[in-house]
Amino acid sequence: MTTAEKTSFTVLRAETPPVPALPPFGQFIGGKFVPSTSGETADVVNPATEEVLTQVPAGTAEDVDAAVAAAVAAKASWAATTPRDRSAVLLKIADIIEKNREVFETLESANTGKPAAVAEDDISSAIDTFRFSAGAARAFSTLGADDYAENHTSVIHREPVGVVGVITPWNYPLLMAAWKIAPVLGAGNTLVLKPSEQTPLATLKLAELIADEVPAGVVNIVTGPGRVVGNRLSEHPGVDLVAITGSVGSGQKVAASAAASVKRVHLELGGKAPVVVFDDADLEAAAKGVRSAGFWNGGQECGAACRVLVHESVAEKFTELLVREISEITVGTPGAGDAEIGSMISKAHYERVLAALEDVRKDGHTIAVGGNAIEGQGYFIEPTVVTNVPAGAPITSNEIFGPVVSVETFSTDEEAVTRANETIYGLAASVWTKDSARSLTVPRRLDFGTVWVNSHLVIATEMPWGGFKGSGYGRDLSSYALDDFSRTKHVMYNRG
Ligand code: NAD
């Protein structure tokens, strides 16, 4: 049976802040905005108001070819710059974003419907990513030279890969671009980036503002659909590595297209993060943790704390605490100061999340709070907690990517670990316990690229972010990203 305790979430509505100067219309190729070879355009929509903000070119394979040609032409001279010079450019980009942070925050909120607090965090993290990569690029080195064969001295050079194709998602448009642009440039590569068709504005704005600081052709941006622009980037013989942050399905397509030219692939894909709450956990802290990490960015977050596994002996108490927390969440438009969550990114995604909630009902789970669309303008959905979820139910493994958290129970530690690992994803997980032995052993047995203990979704720029299994195998952030975007070359000198 479905019982909804609270169905009366409303949207706090504030006047939409004026959208700052939009980026120029066109593709950013060879250091300037140029017309697309396509006469077609795509609408860019504010999902909190359903208004069309502007149009961008619906780009073509020929646009990608022109951008790749520009990136190839710039490749040798950018690769020849010293780490210090590249670092200076990255620091300059960080300064430009910081100086224009209000412009970026407003653009991001207008283009995604996210609350101001989330947009502020995104922009701060983007700035930090450029500053970190600027430092890491200078500290990046290989093993020292030495002799491993008689009369021969070995030297390892760290080289850029060449031209990197980057494909980004819509949930954190500028931040996901920053996670790639900073290490890709820091390691000495040039790039062609395709932003999500829903959210190209902040990335195009960045291109406009950094055009005078980055040599022409080093950064190129082509807007357009994934199946056209993204696919051409993936298959293009002039692209040496393609990196995508997106869904598993898109990652599979990119990897398949990349196979023809045997190019390297860097995949940051979806997630379904388990939150394992043991009987000795601080239940209040765990419930608050799920409130913030399960609903951050409206749950449109690859590491979202969306699948709770709680010990059966504390399940009732924990669920009560969680439902109380989630009932208090405020939903609002970006201008509404107190709003914790905003709208879904698009009509299509809103409909996908509502269809997933329909499935929850059909599967006979309990909707303890929320579960519905919120009436009125914009693509808003109530923060939702689903209980009465048995092992193996579809909601335990399907990524909903919205404000929906499910709760399952377990009876032994062994079962908790086995069930948490029963997912195609392997991006992130958390463990909530006061027991020091559990806090050491359980994370080691979980098959996820990041495991938090008594926390969830705290990201450190210095630490790697990336998944296992279906979540892909790229590493963003940290010096491991510089590793991923470079190649080693062994040169051996015969001293005999
Ligand atoms: P998506 O897969 O629909 O789109 C991502 C990007 O891929 C877009 O730019 C899109 O145009 C492009 N694309 C789509 N089909 C393509 C194709 N055939 N060839 C090349 N490119 C193609 O994902 P989304 O809906 O924008 O973002 C949400 C997804 O991203 C979720 O699954 C989420 O978990 C994942 N994500 C992962 C991380 C991470 O760090 N692992 C971070 C953010 C988002």
Domain 271-329+383-460 belongs to what topology?
Answer: Aldehyde Dehydrogenase; Chain A, domain 2 (3.40.309)
> Which atom number of ligand 1 is nearest to the Cα of residue 247?
32
Q: pLDDT, tens digit, for every residue of 469-488?
A: 999 999 999 999 999 999 99
Domain boundaries, the chain: 27-269+471-491, 271-329+383-460
Q: What is the pLDDT of residue 432?
A: 98
Q: Is the pLDDT of residue 309 over 80?
A: yes
Q: Is the pLDDT of residue 4 over 50?
A: no
Q: pLDDT, tens digit, for every residue of 150-176?
A: 999 999 999 999 999 999 999 999 999
Q: In the chain, count H helices and then E strands.
A: 14, 21
For residue 244, how far is its CA from the centre of ligand 1 (angstroms)?
Answer: 7
> Which atom number of ligand 1 is nearest to the Cα of residue 248?
32
pLDDT confidence bin for 141, thresholds 50/70/90: confident
Look up the CATH superfamily of 27-269+471-491. Aldehyde Dehydrogenase; Chain A, domain 1 (3.40.605.10)
Helix, strand, coil tally for the chain in percent (to 5): 40, 20, 40
- Name the residue at shortest CA distance from atom 26 of ligand 1: 169
Q: What is the pLDDT of residue 152?
A: 97
* Nearest one of 482, 27, 79, 28 to 217, comparing CA atoms: 28
Q: Which of 192, 228, 245 gets mutated to test ligand 1 (max ligand atoms within 8 A of its CB)? A: 245
For residue 247, how far is its CA from the centre of ligand 1 (angstroms)?
Answer: 4
Q: Which long-range contacts (CB under 8 A, 24 or more apart) does 140-149 make?
A: 140/83, 140/186, 140/187, 140/479, 140/482, 140/486, 142/488, 149/492
Q: What is the pLDDT of residue 6?
A: 52
- Name the residue at shortest CA distance from atom 15 of ligand 1: 226
> Which atom number of ligand 1 is nearest to the Cα of residue 302?
34
Residue 204 is encoded by which pair of tokens?
């195009």
Q: Is the pLDDT of residue 317 over 70?
A: yes
Q: Which helix (H) or strand (E) holds 331?
A: strand 331-332
Return the beta strands (E) in 108-232 as ranges: 146-149, 152-160, 163-167, 190-194, 219-221
For residue 411, how far is its CA from the centre of ligand 1 (angstroms)?
Answer: 36
For residue 224, how far is its CA from the centre of ligand 1 (angstroms)?
Answer: 13
User: Which one has a higher pLDDT value, 21 or 354?
Assistant: 354
Q: Is the pLDDT of residue 213 over 80?
A: yes
Q: β-strands 152-160, 486-494: how paired?
A: antiparallel
For residue 245, how far is its CA from the centre of ligand 1 (angstroms)?
Answer: 5
Catalytic one of 105, 197, 235, 302: 302
What is the sign, positive or negative, of the torsion defined by CA atoms of 229, 235, 236, 238?
positive
Residue 191 is encoded by which pair of tokens?
């790039």
Q: What is the pLDDT of residue 7?
A: 53
The number of CA neighbours under 13 Å toward the Cβ of 315 is 16
Catalytic one of 108, 235, 268, 340: 268
Q: Which helix (H) or strand (E) holds 410?
A: strand 404-410
Q: Is the pLDDT of residue 434 over 80?
A: yes
What would the mean pLDDT of 339-362 be, rounded to a whole number? 97
> Is 302 among the catalytic positions?
yes
What would the mean pLDDT of 283-304 be, rounded to a whole number? 98
Collapsed DSSP state (helix, strand, coil) of residue 399: coil
The CB density around residue 247, as the number of other CB atoms within 10 Å, is 16
- Name the residue at shortest CA distance from atom 12 of ligand 1: 226
Q: What is the pLDDT of residue 3?
A: 44
Q: Is the pLDDT of residue 19 over 60?
A: yes
Q: pLDDT, tens digit, for every residue of 237-262?
A: 999 999 999 999 999 999 999 999 99
What is the sign, positive or negative, of the torsion defined by CA atoms of 31, 27, 160, 206?
positive
> Is 306 among the catalytic positions?
no
Q: Is the pLDDT of residue 2 over 70?
A: no
Largest CA distance in the chain: 82
pLDDT confidence bin for 140, thresholds 50/70/90: confident
Q: DSSP letters along 212-278, please?
A: TTS-TTSEEE--S-IIIIIHHHHH-TT-SEEEEES-HHHHHHHHHHHHTTT-EEEEE-----EEEE-
Both ends of the chain: CA-CA distance in Å?
Answer: 82
Who lines ligand 1 at CB under 6 A?
Answer: 167-171, 176, 194, 196-197, 226-227, 230-231, 234, 244-247, 250, 253-254, 268-271, 302, 399, 401, 427, 467, 471
For residue 168, how far is its CA from the centre of ligand 1 (angstroms)?
Answer: 6
